[in-house]
Amino acid sequence: MSPTLLFVLLLLVFLALLLLATRPLGNYIAQVMEGRPNFALKLGGPLEAALYRLCGVDSRRDMPWREYAIALLAFNVLGALIVYALQRLQAYLPLNPQHFAGVSPDSSFNTAVSFVTNTNWQGYAGESTMGYLVQMAGLAVQNFLSAATGIAVAIALVRGFARHNASGIGNFWVDVTRSTLYLLLPLAVVLALALAGAGVIQNLDGYRDATTLEKLTYQNPRTDAAGNPLKDAQGNALTETATTQTQTLPMGPVASQEAIKELGTNGGGFFNANSAHPFENPTPLTNGLELLAMFLISFALTYTFGKLVGDVRQGWVVLASMIILFVPLALLGFEIEQHGNPAITAQGVDAAPSALQAGGNMEGKETRFGIAASTLWTAVCTGTSTGAVNSAHDSLMPLGGFVPLFLMQLGEVAPGGVGTGLYSILMFAILGVFIAGLMIGRTPEYLGKKIESLEMKLASIFILTTPFAVLIGTALGVVTAAGRAGIANPGPHGFSEILYAFTTAANNNGSAFAGLSANTPFYNVATGIAMYVGRFWPIVAALAIAGSLAAKKRVPVTEGTMPTHGPLFIALLIGSILLIGVLTYVPALALGPVVEHFMLGGAAH
């Protein structure tokens, strides 16, 4: 069977399994978020009520959008302060068998913002930095709460469409509690048990030293006191030879963190190698489960959307648009990697797939996954805002690296993070109906709500904030000495590394291109600000739109109303997303992966 056919089959099985779960899970989410009686609310109701009593929350209070937004912001900044404190004080706290010192202030700031914003970008190596208390009480807790925040915003926006003449968009505390208690926690428990059963480790032991059979000699990158890579006069990284016969095996509560890491589209790995590490993702079975977990809730939320606005076709249209955006980019990524590196094949190296080798470009990929499961993962982790990796994105071919970059730059809508994917694509839907309205000369409407000047201003703020943070951040990285100091590969690849860092930060993805020494005060602060702005400014705009829409009356469907449940609207929605993504990022992409692609082609000849 040809590798392409194998990949297509893998993709089809993957999507089919997800589509089977979309309707029942989407229906369930609609029930629990709207408090419609079902078995889960009956079972968890007393606990939920007790939590509200404990926190002094009036669960019946319907919040106007500003109150909802301020509750959300305060809740998240408090979470960031707790994660910051846990890292700084970890040397004095329990559950730190490795006796790790407190994390540096700049890295603590970056990590606190990273996990609160659902980015989970990591400038540090987990196994050599974070004790178990920080991993569990800080990072894993934020994995749940940041995902719950995303779901809350999506549901609040959907209520904006579903309600009319209403002053409120829901209760933030209730939304966060219900999505955590009835959705994320049960799914995470089931997945954690499945992963632990399939070989992912779960313990609180100290690390173990193993003596290897052979002495290992390797090249260690040299760094200065600030952690920046040392370079020669040509700008190439300097290394030194090191030997060892001891391998330290890190331990820890990995399966429990791995489950929510994928389900909540978080992506922060317990270990530095993330899901390429055999203790996080040991087999093709765990790889498959983790892949499904990344898409599961984002797919289901589209059905929830359709259900709550009273027309499930609207949800299927959104989901179809997400899939149509995702599939060609996933295929492109696979084809490029399977094609291999022309500069290497020009030297007579056999890159053809056979029974004995995967062929193509296997640099940076795990042999237990091969090219198909690695490139599918790359597309899935950047199509969502997960950012967990099972291969080294820095080792992708130049256009192979373009795929994850572009998937993020589209605004994380294919299908995007939990909640964020839905509310982001609904912003593009608003833009799409506005463009269509301009073309036919009518006031645009979407789901029975007139889209007027205020909604367009807010949608513009939403859509432009992230590119602003990406492009300004990248420019700062390129023009400042502190930014350039982090580059390990000079030239267009180095530019791609900086572009990727700010793209992943501002889009709250969190995957790393590696190669960039980002655990420095400059990158910790700059990407920290990009993550915060890229997360909360669009959320404020989305909630403002929700408030504005909820207050409007519903306009009746007439012959002049543009239908938004068919193929024409799918084309309009995809067109709007591509238009914004391409116009915004093509110049930057041309300077990075595109130039590198042509340089590689030239080198091969």
**Would you tell me which residues interact with another protein (CB under 8 A)?**
64-66, 69-70, 73-74, 77, 80-81, 84, 88, 105-106, 108-109, 112-113, 167-168, 454, 457-458, 461, 525, 528-529, 532-533, 536-537, 540-541, 544, 547-548, 551
Least distance (Å) between residue 69 CB and another protein: 5
Residue 377 Ramachandran class (φ > 0 left, ψ -120 to 50 alpha, else beta): alpha
CA-to-CA dists, residue 273 to 40, 277, 389, angstroms: 37, 5, 8
- Tell me how far, at minimum, the Cβ of 457 lies from another protein, in Å: 7
Of 330 and 533, CB closest to another protein: 533
Token pair listed for 204 = 């609180």
Ramachandran quadrant class, 235 (left: phi over 0; alpha: psi -120 to 50; beta: rest): left
Closest approach of another protein to the CB of residue 472, in Å: 15
Write down the least CB distance from residue 533 to another protein, Å.
Answer: 8
- Give 160 or 360: the residue with its C-beta nearer to another protein: 160
Least separation in angstroms between residue 540's CB and another protein is 5
Which amino acid does the sequence have at 417? G
Q: Of 6 and 93, which CB lies nearer to another protein in the complex structure?
A: 93
Q: How many CB atoms lie within 10 A of CB 85?
A: 14
In the complex, the smallest distance separating the C-beta of residue 146 from another protein, rounded to whole angstroms, is 15
Give the shortest CB-190-to-another protein separation in angstroms. Answer: 35
**Closer CB to another protein, 117 or 395, in the complex:** 117
List, in sequence order, the alpha helices (H) in 34-61.
39-55
| Closest CB to another protein among residues 71, 184 | 71
At its nearest, how many Å lie between another protein and the CB of residue 387? 21
Question: Which phi and psi angles does 524 have, rounded to 5°?
Answer: -65, -40
The answer to whether 500 touches 518, Cβ cutoff 8 Å, is no
Nearer to another protein, 251 or 540 (CB): 540
Query: Could you give the angle at which helices 398-409 and 492-506 cross, rounded to 10 degrees?
Result: 30
* DSSP designation for 181: I
> Quick one: CA torsion of 60, 65, 68, 73, rounded to 10 degrees?
180
Q: List, in sequence order, every residue forming a beta bridge with 220; answer none if it has no partner.
A: 240
Output phi, psi for 450, to 5 deg: -70, 130
* Shortest reach from residue 454's CB to another protein, in Å: 4
Name which of 61 and 457 has its Cβ closer to another protein. Answer: 457
As given in the structure block, the two tokens for residue 422 are 């839905």
Q: Where are the alpha helices (DSSP H) in 97-225?
A: 105-116, 132-133, 141-162, 172-178, 185-197
**Of 153 and 255, CB closest to another protein:** 153
Distance of alpha carbon 568 from alpha carbon 565, whole angstroms:
8
Is 73 or 194 the residue whose CB approaches another protein more closely?
73
Q: How far is CA 313 from CA 26, 164, 296, 306, 352, in A?
A: 13, 20, 19, 6, 44
